[in-house]
């Protein structure tokens, strides 16, 4: 439903937090069910995504998943690689701290190898080494279920993202609820460090 609603609303990028790096701490049976659900979705939903011109990518520390899931991810990404209507990214075994840490590690390796110097390191370089380097910064973050935290999701990328919290549980988050989130977003003034007056003048220029 949400993928279809995004397409109808003109949303080009959608990122879903499917499985966090902290979810491994849950009871073993629950973890297994989450992984089986993820595998089932990869097996049954990818064809529909492809038919609807949706490109699927998965980000996160995928090495911890078994060979079967990694192969399903590879096939799904290959099948949908040329699609252009919507970019759907699934964050699986993902954590914002992990993402920043792995980016720093990769940059440090390049400095040690002499391909970069410490003076080359800036926010743009960090962006390029994040697992989400192919995505623009998010405009809107939606958290369902009454929780009012971002739970280690896209910590670097959410710097200027508008946050929307709802008590509606994810299974009940339907088209109407999604529209409420979009309406809330549309009513806000995004300043990016500027004053409201500056933004108003730029919009009216």
At 133-165, the pLDDT tens digits run: 999 999 999 999 999 999 999 999 999 999 999
pLDDT of residue 167: 98
Given strand 86-94, what is the order of strands in its sheet? 13-20, 86-94, 54-59
Angle value at C-alpha 99, between 2 and 154, nearest 5 degrees? 40
DSSP string covering 114-166, please? TSS-GGG--HHHHHHHSTTTTSPPPSEEEE-TT--S-TTSSTTTTTT-EEEE-
Q: Identify any residues that bridge with 142 across adjacent strands, giving them in sequence order.
A: 164
pLDDT of residue 124: 97
pLDDT of residue 195: 72
pLDDT of residue 200: 66
pLDDT of residue 205: 63
pLDDT of residue 19: 87
pLDDT of residue 204: 67
Instruction: Say which residues have a Cβ less than 8 Å from residue 16's Cβ, sequence separation at least 6.
Output: 2, 88, 89, 90, 91
pLDDT of residue 199: 63
Q: Domains in the chain, start-ordered, CATH in brackets?
A: 2-187 (3.40.1180.10)
Reduced 3-state DSSP string for 34-101: HHHHHHHHHHHCHHHHHHCCEEEEEECCHHHCCHHHHHHHHHHHHHCCCCCCEEEEEEEEECHHHHHH
By DSSP bridging, strand 86-94 and strand 54-59 are parallel
pLDDT of residue 166: 98
pLDDT of residue 6: 93
In angstroms, the CA 40 to CA 24 distance is 19
pLDDT of residue 191: 76
User: What is the end-to-end Cα distance of the chain in Å, rounded?
Assistant: 38
pLDDT of residue 1: 80
pLDDT of residue 192: 66
pLDDT of residue 151: 94
Low-confidence residues of the chain: pLDDT under 70 = 192, 194, 196, 198-205
pLDDT of residue 201: 66
Do residues 54 and 45 touch, judged by C-beta distance below 8 A?
A: no
H/E element holding 177? helix 175-186
Task: Identify the burial level of 155 via C-beta atoms within 10 angstroms of its C-beta, where 0-12 means exposed, 13-18 middle and 19 or more buried.
Answer: middle
pLDDT of residue 127: 98
């Amino acid at each position: 439903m949400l993928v279809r609603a995004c397409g109808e609303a003109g949303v080009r990028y959608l990122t879903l937090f499917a499985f966090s790096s902290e979810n491994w701490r849950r009871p073993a049976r629950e973890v297994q069910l989450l992984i089986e659900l993820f595998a089932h979705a990869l097996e049954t939903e990818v064809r529909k995504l492809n038919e609807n011109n949706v490109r699927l990518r998965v980000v996160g520390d995928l090495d911890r998943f078994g060979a079967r899931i990694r192969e399903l991810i590879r096939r799904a990404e290959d099948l949908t690689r040329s699609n252009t209507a919507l970019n759907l990214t699934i964050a699986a075994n993902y954590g914002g701290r992990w993402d920043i840490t792995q980016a720093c590690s990769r940059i440090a390796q390049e400095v040690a190898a002499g391909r970069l110097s410490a003076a080359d390191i800036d926010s743009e370089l960090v962006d390029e080494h994040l697992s989400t380097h192919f995505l623009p910064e998010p405009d809107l973050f939606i958290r369902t279920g009454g929780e009012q935290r971002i739970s280690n999701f896209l910590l670097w990328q959410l710097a200027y993202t508008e946050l929307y919290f709802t008590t509606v549980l994810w299974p009940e988050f339907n088209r109407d609820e999604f529209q409420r989130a979009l309406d809330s977003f549309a009513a806000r003034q995004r300043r990016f460090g500027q004053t409201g007056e500056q933004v108003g003048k730029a919009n009216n220029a």
